[in-house]
Amino acid sequence: MRCSYLSVDSFTEYCQKVYFATKDYSAAAFVVVNGGLFYLLTDKLLAGAPSDVNVMEEFHQYKTMCEDNLITTLGDINPFLPATKENLQALLMGVSGIYASSVR
């Protein structure tokens, strides 16, 4: 994942926090995960791999789901968030994700 403000290890931890939740996670963590997955799936689709049309369609459906989750969650986030690292990462990921989906 090409991201200057989030390492692969950090992204993996966010994914585990959200998708294998043992306790509540924040809306910011949900935005980071869906934004990261949106970018990963977009990169896969743009690269054109794999060649199986069914797999490509499945990637597209997942990408659309992550995009919808990203937009919905960003709309629900309090605009007066505390300035934490997680919240800043979420806002950066969310804004860049929305921008990327609008310039397609």
pLDDT in tens, 48-95: 766 778 888 898 899 999 999 988 988 888 878 898 988 888 888 887
* Residue-level length of the chain: 104
Rounded distance between C-alpha atoms, residue 60 and residue 76, angstroms: 24
With beta carbons less than 8 A apart as the criterion, state whether 66 and 43 touch: no
Report the alpha-carbon distance of residue 61 to residue 17 in Å, rounded: 23
pLDDT at residue number 19 = 92
Could you tell me the pLDDT band of residue 39, with boundaries at 50, 70 and 90?
A: confident
Q: Catalogue the E-assigned strands of 1-104.
A: none
Task: Name the residue with higher pLDDT: 2 or 19.
Answer: 19
Q: Specify the pTM.
A: 0.82
